[in-house]
Amino acid sequence: MSALGRARGFGGGKLPPAESVASASEVRSQLAAVGDALAAARHAVVFTGAGLSTAAGLADVSGRRGHANRAYERKTARKLRPSGYEHPTMGHMALASLVGAGIVRLIVSTNADALHAKSGVPASKLALLRGTATDLEMEAFAKAAPGATVAERETLAGLIATNPRLSQLRVELENKVLCVDEVERTLAHVDRADVVVVVGCGIAAAVHEHLLAGFDGALFIIGLQESVLDDAADDVIRCNADTALVSLVAALDVPLSRYVVRMPAVVTATLLQEKPHGKTAGKRHWRVSVSSEMRGPLDVEEVLFEVPRGMDGPQHVLVNANPFELVCSGKGPAGEVVVTLFFRRCEAEDFPPSA
């Protein structure tokens, strides 16, 4: 592949907002090539963007309809929906599996949602270019970000003098939109990399373009949206990020990591029936409906069920949907039913990636 700096059309014009999906047969063939490259790689690096996190229910902050642009247009700071209930997608878990297997040496992300960390990727294998924002109070980037001090600008100038690639990111670094330490760490890995996979990076690829300047290894793009990196890539795979990453894990024969989380649940208990006669006379039957914020089908790892004295349960668990139900029964008086649930995401074959 020719050096990225010589790629045709870099940095020119607006990015097209359109998304496209290739045929299933074409995607399978392309992913097979990506899998072969990763299997043979000495030092593979993966870049991720908003296209990986939107499947978890998070907005694309920097997209055309993202919160940052709306904030800029309205000249007011906007807040994203509070975090806490967003959880890693199958794509996040697939990347964590590749890191755990030693196939991927570093994940570089412009996402500040901490989903890579939640999926189990250690900090030493993760470069968060925009840091983390656990409360997701991300405002209009440089418009709201505190500028660098004089001392910080002098330090940054020294770094740029020794690494010209940073000069293209001077504004973002000075406004603390990008973390200089993470950028430096990324560049060190890019210098050693022979394979780079960029996943779900549309607009964010404009940042990655500068970080990958001069990279002469194998470059693969996975995502639905066009980016400035497409012309320089060895191949562009137009498909859903979750679908691609889960397929790569399977092709490389790497076990897919499971995501286990203790989830708060909204619990309501309703009286089903009270048998007036026979051996079970006076025995109440209760249905407890449990609704979780986790997206998609759920599986129950463990249930801790506290019911009023005299009640039994749970007798039956229905987990085919969200919300699902637990049924218990007992002779005790009506009272508070407390349910503590430990969920895990269903396995890949049971939890198809979002389209």
**Cα angle at 109 between 175 and 254, to 5 degrees?**
170
Q: How far is CA 99 from the centre of its chain?
A: 15
**Residue 200 and residue 237 in contact, taking contact as beta carbons nearer than 8 Å:** no
Least confident interval from 106-120, 158-172, 335-349:
335-349
Of 145-159, 174-188, 191-205, least confident by mean pLDDT is 145-159
Task: Please write the tens of the pLDDT for every residue from 221-239.
Answer: 998 888 888 888 999 999 8
User: Does residue 97 register a pLDDT over 50?
Assistant: yes
Bigger pLDDT: 345 or 328? 328
Q: Which residue has the higher pLDDT, 355 or 167?
A: 167
- Please tell me the predicted confidence (pLDDT) of residue 107: 96
Q: What separation, in Å, do the N-terminal and C-terminal C-alpha atoms of the chain show?
A: 31
What pLDDT band is residue 289 in, cutting at 50, 70 and 90? low
Length of the chain: 355
Question: Is residue 181 scored above 90 in pLDDT?
Answer: no
Greater model confidence, 224 or 275: 224
Report the candidate in 343, 304, 349 with the shortest Cα–Cα distance to residue 323. 343
80 or 281, higher pLDDT: 281
Q: What is the pLDDT of residue 254?
A: 94
CB contact at 8 A, 222 and 198:
yes
Task: Give the per-residue pLDDT at 231.
Answer: 87
What stretch of H or E contains 208?
helix 205-211
Q: Give residue 2's pLDDT band: very low, low, confident or very high (50, 70, 90).
A: very low
pLDDT digits (tens, 9 = 90+) for 14-73: 444 466 677 888 899 999 999 999 999 999 999 998 888 776 655 555 444 444 444 433
| Token pair 């890579």: residue | 116
One-letter-per-residue 3-state SS of 172-185? HHHCCCCCHHHHHH
**Strand residues in 178-297 grouped as ranges (E):** 195-199, 218-222, 235-237, 260-263, 266-274, 284-291
- More confident call, 300 vs 18: 18
The pLDDT of residue 70:
42
Per-residue pLDDT at 319 exceeds 90 = no
Which residue from 6, 7, 12 is spatially nearest to 221, judged by alpha carbons? 7
pLDDT at position 184 = 83
